[in-house]
Amino acid sequence: MHSLGIHSGADLKQRSSETLPKASLTDLTHHFGKAGNYYYKIARAEDDRPVEANRVRKSIGAETSFAQDLSDVSQCDLNHKINF
């Protein structure tokens, strides 16, 4: 992808709107091998994968909010670890 000027998701999104929808499946498989078929479909908003509504969780988030909005770090309770 780098040789085509695609270095990030934003680049891919921009390129997909400009060039990938016009690219043939043959062109994409030439550049990306087997993944070319996937890129061809994704650039056209075609995704046939089944939706897995009930799957194993990969992570669980937890957070604690302060009772009032804080305007300065010095207002934080120093007994709680703060990660910035």
76, 82 contact by CB (below 8 A): yes
Q: Six-digit token pair at 34? A: 């087997």
Structure confidence by residue, pLDDT tens digits, 52-80: 888 787 888 877 777 778 788 777 765 55
User: How far, in Å, CA of 21 to CA of 70, rounded?
Assistant: 48
Nearest to 2, CA basis, from 62, 11, 49: 11
Nearest to 44, CA basis, from 28, 32, 63: 28
Structure confidence by residue, pLDDT tens digits, 33-49: 998 888 888 877 788 88
User: How far, in Å, CA of 79 to CA of 32, rounded?
Assistant: 52
pTM: 0.46
